[in-house]
Copies of this chain bind each other. A is one copy, B any other.
Amino acid sequence: MDFSELIKIRQSVRSYTSQPVEKEKITQCLEAARLAPSASNSQPWKYIVVDDEELKNKVALATFDKVVKFNKFALQAPVIIVIVLEKPKLITQIGGEIKKREWPLIDIGITAEHFCLQAAELGLGTCMIGWFDQKRIKELLNISTKKIIGLLITLGYAPDDYALRKKIRKANSEIISNNKY
């Protein structure tokens, strides 16, 4: 399908069936993520595929609590992807220091979206999750306390009746201008 169609069917899926995700589909999504561009081609990421049910449920439980509950749907997803930020190349680190920029975060956005778009094309649902208990997930997955987890992505099949929502976005006039701000 055309890219303009693909971006319309990709949406945050917050409800999943128990249908397992085929290994080869996970592999395809990871390959799309692996081929993503990054500043100085640093590829400052590591993907952890959490598909062990018990462990996955523990990770899901670290995305919500009694107060902030909007990620509760994560428990339904058969797979959770955990993206860990890695150090970029030295040149990117130095450049980032000089320019006071955190390019690896931009890179994480790019690679995560590659993953989600590929998943959408394969008929899978995803949702990026930025709200989670860093400390708890590091303990669960044996991630060094020095590392930073960039994002989680839930992965699975949406129920058949899960509707494609119309995208609510700012108008062009709010976000686009010509030759000046």
Contacts and interface: CB of A to CB of B under 8 A. Distances in A.
Interface of A: 1-4, 6-8, 10-12, 28, 30-32, 34-37, 39, 41, 43, 45-52, 55, 84, 95, 99, 101-103, 105-110, 112-114, 116-118, 121, 128, 130-131, 134, 141-144, 147, 150-151, 167-170, 172, 175-181
* Number of chain copies forming the complex: 2
A12 to B, nearest CB: 6
Contacts of A172: 30, 34
A31 to B, nearest CB: 7
Q: Specify the main secondary structure of chain A where it touches its partner.
A: mixed
A109 B177 CA distance: 20
Contacts of A112: 106, 110
A178 B48 contact: yes
Given A3-B32, A39-B128, A43-B170, 17 more contacts: A2-B121, A3-B6, A4-B31, A7-B32, A11-B37, A34-B176, A48-B176, A48-B177, A48-B180, A49-B176, A50-B178, A51-B179, A105-B109, A108-B109, A109-B109, A141-B181, A144-B181
